[in-house]
Every structure is written in structure tokens, then in C-alpha cells.
Structure 1
Amino acid sequence: MKFAKTIKLFLIDGDPNGRMICELSNWTGKAYKIPRTKIKDCVDRDDLQNPGIYLLFGKNESGKDLVYIGEAEIVLKRLLQHLTQKDFWTEEISFTSKDENLNKAHIKYLENRLFSIANNINRYEIINNTTPNLPSISESDRAEMEEFLENIKMLVSTLGHRVFEEIRVVKSSKKRKEETFYIKAARGADASGEITSDGFLVHKKSKAALSTTPSMTENLIKIRNKLIDDGVLETVNGELFFPNDYVFSSASAAASIVMGRNANGLTEWKLKNGKSLKDFESSSS
């Protein structure tokens, strides 16, 4: 069950693009969101001299989101080191404890768990060279860190990064079935998908058309070819399919890639009963 939360944001520099502190009511944790260009200005922040978890965020040349997940006994010292060691990142989010009760084992535990969650969700490319080790901690400490972990996940999303958010919205199996849309068309297209808060998600094992039509726009062809190059679409036994769930920015983009031609997703994606996505979204029921 989800409960209402009160989150307090403090703009250190009076600038929404500058340094920011984020705190959650009745929680001992404290989050900093700091642009790379402002890291050196944080030498006066005493709580960044404490142990904590940090995440470095950036993008690669093709616009893919990148993240590095780390821990440090002195957070600011490590961030200053990363200014000269890693050049991909543009901002960081770090977490310390206001009551200074995070020890080395705690932060190593959080580092491992956050890495595992981000890796399983697969929204961002993780830059870490190795998988962090999971330390042995007591049952009571583990319960406390799991609660700390949930708050980290929520605040990271609040601060603009969905690296720990599941792509699929949790629904009952009945509701998911009722809200699954399908396309079955020429040249092998046979796909299913659903609407999510990120865009239109095409389900794992869906099949795309093996070829494209001459009228398909050049931009869509480039996108489709890149998806093939990146392994989002794979050819196996003469079929082109999605080995994993994949989110498109719109239903039309998803339909076009699946069908291998220009397509209006609002009319092409249909429920089992034949109702189009357009009619579904305009329906009051």
C-alpha cells in the first residue's frame, strides 16, 4: 500500500538548476542533487563529509541515459575524484544520514541493492565496471536498509531520474489482459503492448514485420535499423522479434516499427474485442 508523503526541497543557490537538498518527512536520510559544475562549491557542506551512496547521471552520444552507482565513506571526496576520473556525467544525486548512523557495511549493502534493481529494470546503461559485493549484515540492519532503499528510489524519481522505476505499471492479471492491445499485419507483424506512464510498451516476444514498405519515412527506417543494431529487435528463425519489453515514445512509433510502415497507432492498436486505442482512450468507462 502506498502512503502520502511530504517532501521538502531546498534550493541552495536559489536556482532550480543549481544545488538542491531533498528531505522526506520523518526520515533520517538526506539527498543532494548537485550539477557537476557545482561540486567544488560544496566544500562547506558538512553532511557530504559523511558516508553515503551517490549516483552519477549523464548520456552517451546517442542520447542513452547512463548511471554510475557508488558508495563512499566521505561522499564529497569521492565526487571530487570523479571530476577528473569520469567525464560522462553532468549531475549527481547522493544520500547520507542526518543522524550519521550509516556505516561501511550499510552503504555497501545499499550500493549492491541499487545496482541490482537498476540492472534488472534496464532503463539506464550502468557504467560500473564490476558488480558491487553484497556484505553480510544483521537481520535488523537489513530491514532498516531496505526501508532506506525504498526512500532512495522514491526521491531519485522525484528528482528526475526513473532509473529504479519499473516500466510496467502493476496491474491485476485481469486488468492487464483487458488493457492489452494487439497488431497482426502483413510481413509477419504480430505484436501486443500496453499503455504505460513512459509511453507505449511493446511486449517481449512480439514480432515485427520482416521488411519495410517503400513509403516508410526515412526517419522511421533509421530508427528501426538502429533498434536492430542495438539488439532491441533480433532475427531468429526468419522472424524479427523483441527479446525484451521495449517502450516507444508513442503508440504510433510502436505501430510503425512493428508494421514496417507509416502507421497511426491510435487506430492500428486494438483490444481483443476490436476496440481501437483511440476509442479506448476516448471512452468514459
Structure 2
Amino acid sequence: MIKFGKTIKLFLLDGEPNGRMSCELSNWTGKAYKIPRKQIKESTDRAELQGTGIYILFGKGDSIGRDLAYIGEAEGIHKRLLQHLSSKDFWNEAIVFISKDDNLNKAHIKYLESRLYEIALEVNRYDLENGNCPPKPKISESDQAEMEEFISNIGLLVNTLGFKIFEELRKSNQTQEEKEKSTFYIEAARGANATGQSTNEGFVVMKDSSIAISTTKSFPKNWEKLRQELIIRKIIIQQDSKLIFGKDYLFTSPSAAAAIVMGRSANGLTEWRLSDGRILKAIETDKE
């Protein structure tokens, strides 16, 4: 499939990099606004925020690596955000999506809310503050196609604005050839048998990978702490006599991933190998 470049226009509404921001994608009728919590009240000057749209609230969670989000819809966006100032205290930024041609109706935004919740839940990067999955209304086939395109563009802009709530940890639609070229393996002592892929964000250890059942005496304390947290959070679970990843997990580096898998200090660039035996370092530097 041929990939095409896209033009995104960012405008600092107040001339400040950490203030309010609008975000537009070329040839799309949607528009995004990124608004810090402390500037919600003063955003009454934005007439477009008085209409119908979808919004996402973002905040920091207590767990390491787990931020919080709430996905909602409203026929009066600004009014709803004002209500959330007193009802929800976890969030510090909001991203709002509207239609520049006022083409979104109540059924549309309810559909968007439900689908975005489903995607965020499946991707599982954020803890969602929504109580339950919002119900999905029935809309026409043509409207559904239009909303799915809207969702695709929401994902692109949210990611561009720095929030990967809808971004898969790794591509799920790879061909067999692509998988063979991008999947690395570790098989080592004490039951370590894992697969992983290098991404633009770091290194993903894949679901069902097994890790060493124990660690060495010299295992660094910071890795031991991370290992125990992953077990507490049930990202690593016990299955029969093994410890396995219950879901894909993103590490900041191949070495961090290798250390947790092997239960000892490790250089991920040399420990992770393709099925043909080539190490990750050789692939990254184009050396055989």
C-alpha cells in the first residue's frame, strides 16, 4: 500500500506553546482543540465550542506508566467541560473534536464516543475513567463509513498532539513476511522464551512470551522493581509453572525488555535475534 504525506496545521491560540491550540488536517472537515484545564473557563470566547462534538480528558495516574483518560460527547462542549471541572479532578488537559461544517449530530457523536472507547480499551495504553462502555447507536451505512473516517483522523491528530491512546503497540495487520522480518526471539535459561518487535517507541514484548521464573543474585534492583510491578499489575501472570506476559508490553529499550525476560542484566541489541539468527544490532546497522 502506498503511503502519502499529510499536512497538519497547528495554531497557538494564545501564542504560548503550553496554552490553547487548534489542530487541522488538510482536506478534512474536522478540527481539534487542545485546551489546558486551567484555561477551560476562558475558552468561552470560542463560539465553535458551544456546539456538538467529542472530547477526551487526559491526566496522570498513580501507577507507573499508566495515565488516565475519559472519553465523552456533548451537544454543548464548553458547558460539559465546565461541569467536569467540578466533577472530575484527575485531568489536566482536554482535546475536543468538532466538525467545521456542523455536520455532527447526536447519533454521530454517540457513535464516535462508543467506538473510541472500544479502541482505547483494546489498545490498553490508558486507564479509562468511563464507568461503562457507552452504547453504540444505529446509524446508516453511509454515516458509519463517514464516522469511521472521522475516527481515523481523530487517532492521527491525538497522536500528533502527544497522546497515544488509540495507537497500537505494534501493527496487528502485518503479513507473514513482515512478521518474519520484524519479530525477534530470546530463548534462555530458567524458562525464558519470548518474542518481541522493535518500534518507534521502544521494544514490545509480545503476549504469551515466558520470562525466567527466577532472577540472578546480581539482577539490578531497578529491573527487579519493574518485574514485581508488572506481576502486581497482572501484565505478567502465572500460567502453570511459567510466568508469561498476559498482553503486549512496551519497554523503553531492547535491553530493558531482555533483562525482564531473562532475569539478569542483558544487552538487548545482542540478545534479541531474528529466526535466522541475526541479532538486533546487525539489523539496525545493516550489518550481516
Q: Indicate the residue corresponding to 2:40 in structure 1.
A: 39
Name the CA distance, whole Å, in 1 between partners of 2:105 and 2:184: 48
Which of 100, 103, 111 is residue 102 of structure 2 equivalent to? Answer: 100
Secondary structure in structure 2 of the residue aligned to 1:84: helix
Name the CA distance, whole Å, in 1 between partners of 2:161 and 2:53: 17
- Correspondence 1:218 to 2:217: no
Q: Indicate the residue corresponding to 2:244 in structure 1.
A: 241
Secondary structure in structure 1 of the residue aligned to 2:45: coil
Q: Which runs of 4+ in 1 moved over 6 A?
A: none
Alignment of 1:116-131 (within 5 A): 116-131=118-133
Name the CA distance, whole Å, in 1 between partners of 2:112 and 2:224: 42
Q: Structure 1 stretch 84-93 or stretch 263-272: which is displaced more?
A: 263-272
Name the CA distance, whole Å, in 2 between partners of 1:110 and 1:181: 36
Secondary structure in structure 2 of the residue aligned to 1:182: strand
- Deviation of 1:28 after TM superposition, in Å, equals 1.5
Contact 2:55 2:72 in 1 (8 A): yes
Q: RMSD over aligned Cα, in angstroms?
A: 1.3
Residue type at the aligned position of 2:122:
N
Q: Indicate the residue corresponding to 1:82 in structure 2.
A: 84
Secondary structure in structure 2 of the residue aligned to 1:116: helix
Equivalent pairs, count? 285
Q: Indicate the residue corresponding to 1:188 in structure 2.
A: 191
Cα offsets for 1:34-74 (capped at 9, x unmatched): 01111111011100000100000111123412110000010
Q: Indicate the residue corresponding to 1:26 in structure 2.
A: 27
Residue type at the aligned position of 1:242:
F
Q: Structure 1 stretch 48-57 or stretch 18-27: which is displaced more?
A: 18-27
Residue type at the aligned position of 1:31:
A
Name the CA distance, whole Å, in 2 between partners of 1:284 and 1:277: 10
Residue type at the aligned position of 1:96:
I
Contact 2:180 2:275 in 1 (8 A): no
Cα offsets for 1:149-200 (capped at 9, x unmatched): 1111111111111111121135321121132211111111111111112211
Residue type at the aligned position of 1:52:
G
Q: Indicate the residue corresponding to 1:62 in structure 2.
A: 63
Name the CA distance, whole Å, in 2 between partners of 1:101 and 1:178: 44
| Structure 2: segments with no counterpart, 5+ residues | none
Q: Indicate the residue corresponding to 2:260 in structure 1.
A: 257
| Structure 1: segments with no counterpart, 5+ residues | none
Secondary structure in structure 1 of the residue aligned to 2:40: helix
Secondary structure in structure 1 of the residue aligned to 2:133: coil
Secondary structure in structure 1 of the residue aligned to 2:94: strand
- Deviation of 1:3 after TM superposition, in Å, equals 2.9
Cα offsets for 1:80-109 (capped at 9, x unmatched): 111111111110100111111211111001
Residue type at the aligned position of 2:162:
G
Q: Structure 1 stretch 255-264 or stretch 60-69: which is displaced more?
A: 60-69
Secondary structure in structure 2 of the residue aligned to 1:92: strand
Name the CA distance, whole Å, in 2 between partners of 1:84 and 1:105: 27
Name the CA distance, whole Å, in 2 between partners of 1:200 and 1:24: 30
- Deviation of 1:138 after TM superposition, in Å, equals 1.5
Residue type at the aligned position of 1:103:
N
Normalised to the residue count of structure 2, the TM-score between the two structures is 0.95
- Correspondence 1:112 to 2:107: no
Residue type at the aligned position of 2:200:
S
- Deviation of 1:221 after TM superposition, in Å, equals 0.5
- Deviation of 1:284 after TM superposition, in Å, equals 5.6
Name the CA distance, whole Å, in 1 between partners of 2:272 and 2:4: 35
Name the CA distance, whole Å, in 2 between partners of 1:175 and 1:3: 20
Name the CA distance, whole Å, in 1 between partners of 2:244 and 2:255: 18
